[in-house]
Chain A
Amino acid sequence: MMARKPNEARIVITGVGLTAPNGNNLAEFRESLLAGKSGIQKFNVRYMGEVLAGVCHFDPLRYQKKKELRRGTRAGSVAIYCAQEAIADAKLDLACLDKSRIGVYVGITEHGNVDTEKQIYEIKQFDYNTTFVSHHYNPRIVANNPAGEVTLNMGITGPHYTLGAACAGGNIGLIQGLQMLLLGEVDLALAGGVSETIHAFGAFASFRSEGALASHADPEKACRPFDKDRNGVVVSEGGCIYLVERLGDALKRGAKIYGEIVGYAINSDAFDFVLPNAQRQAECMKLALNKAGISAGDIDIINTHATGTREGDAAECQAIREVFGEYPHVYINNTKSFIGHTMGAAAALELAGNLPSFEDHIVHPTINLDHLDPECPLNNLVINKPIKVDKVNYILNNSFGMLGINSVVIIKRFEE
């Protein structure tokens, strides 16, 4: 048993703002996850034509002027929507907050590709005359853009930056927010991840060249982690930004607490540019469990990273078996099967979809699993239909990315 931490050293989630291909707030998103509703559709991409993608349908004009939309990026717009929704969900009034004490930490897989491709396409119409490159190009492609647009829109004067962490970005953003709160650098953190990747052809084309771009006659069945017939990744856009704060502050203002961030870890495979490494993933999960001061058997739900690739899914299953093999009661699910791979947003979004389990005691499934790959045996994998359970006290969220970055976050049901 670990010593009880003071409230200033306990970090809790008190607001969730999100947009996913199947929902534009937590309630809608959760409803879709429990109803088996996918968000994958046909989508046209420059130079490639029709592909499959997860597309978000939030109303950007809810929080932005038309001029802001014209000026900014899609990632910025997603981030603004999510950050504003998180503040509203936390029942905070921006006008009454000390905006110099709010930090914005946004995880991204990459940034700038969308506008770079667009600029090159534009100047191609003018025989590549570079005087036609937009003066808006630089502020759109700087790496801090999505977080910076949030501060411009909301008048936040505290620190802002993005965290480039491939497909682990959403977890890393959340961890950064937690760390800055623990250091006392800020009093509120808007932390999570976003992605605009579907608006660039590059990601689709590169996955296709790797032989890892999913295809299926029915778009909603294209993303099928752990299924023997899976054939790759569905690229999606999305965003999820949490409002996180120190427990003492949350209790003082009577905030609704979604959960407490009790464990986290980040490590590196040091192994390959794209191939996963089960051993390092297992180590990352163990590090997070140690940080939380709990054993693997205490976890109730593991939300897997699995993207629907042959090597990736199998490696994660191997890592989970190594850490959780003795604890067959731990439920395992997957969110990408519904919404595809929301890249920089994935970790944060996938965690959000599971947070309601603390209250409703339902575990959402992984869908599109018709024939389990023999390489992916897992105890208690929740397949195709949600299940009701007795209790949910701990959720473990895996997210891994290219260049061998692994991240794990553990959330505990809140209790004083």
Chain B
Amino acid sequence: MTKEEIKSVLMEIVAEIIPDEDLTNLKGDIPIREQVELDSMDFLDIIMELRKRYGIEVPEDDYMQLATLDSSVAYLEPRMRDL
């Protein structure tokens, strides 16, 4: 997967998890939780979806690396490159 494809997948997952939020202006370099209503249980949904869809395990110590869209893509790229 390319970085663009990974970003698109992430956006799709976030849109499913917080369906009431408008994500059109979501900025890549600002923490997602500062821009939309996304609580810790929603965040765990992102982790679960990555596990279900791509078999990716994100250890708890790495959760901070998924704070922004850009940092998420950077963190996931080596793990999803060959998918």
Give A residues with C-beta under 8 Å from B.
Answer: 65-67, 70-71, 126, 131-132, 134-136
Contact = CB atoms under 8 A, between A and B. Distances in A.
Interface residues of B, number: 12
B20 A131 contact: no
17 contacts: A65-B20, A66-B19, A66-B20, A67-B17, A67-B18, A67-B20, A67-B37, A71-B41, A131-B51, A132-B48, A132-B51, A132-B52, A135-B41, A135-B44, A135-B45, A135-B48, A136-B41
Interface of chain B: mostly helix, strand, loop or mixed: helix
Contacts of A67: 17-20, 37, 42
Contacts of B45: 135
B19 A70 contact: yes
A67 B14 CA distance: 11
Contacts of B44: 135
Contacts, number: 23
Main secondary structure of the interface of A (DSSP, over half): helix
A132 B49 CA distance: 9
A134 B45 CA distance: 8
Nearest to B40: A135
Across the A-B interface, give the 6 residue pairs with the lowest CB-CB distance, nearest first: A66-B19, A135-B44, A65-B20, A66-B20, A67-B20, A67-B18
A134 B46 CA distance: 11
Contacts of B18: 67
A216 to B, nearest CB: 39
Interface in B29-72: 37, 41-42, 44-45, 48, 51-52
Q: Which of A131, A135, A136 counts the most chain B CB atoms within 10 A?
A: A135
Contacts of A66: 19-20
A134 B48 contact: yes
A118 to B, nearest CB: 14
Nearest to B16: A70
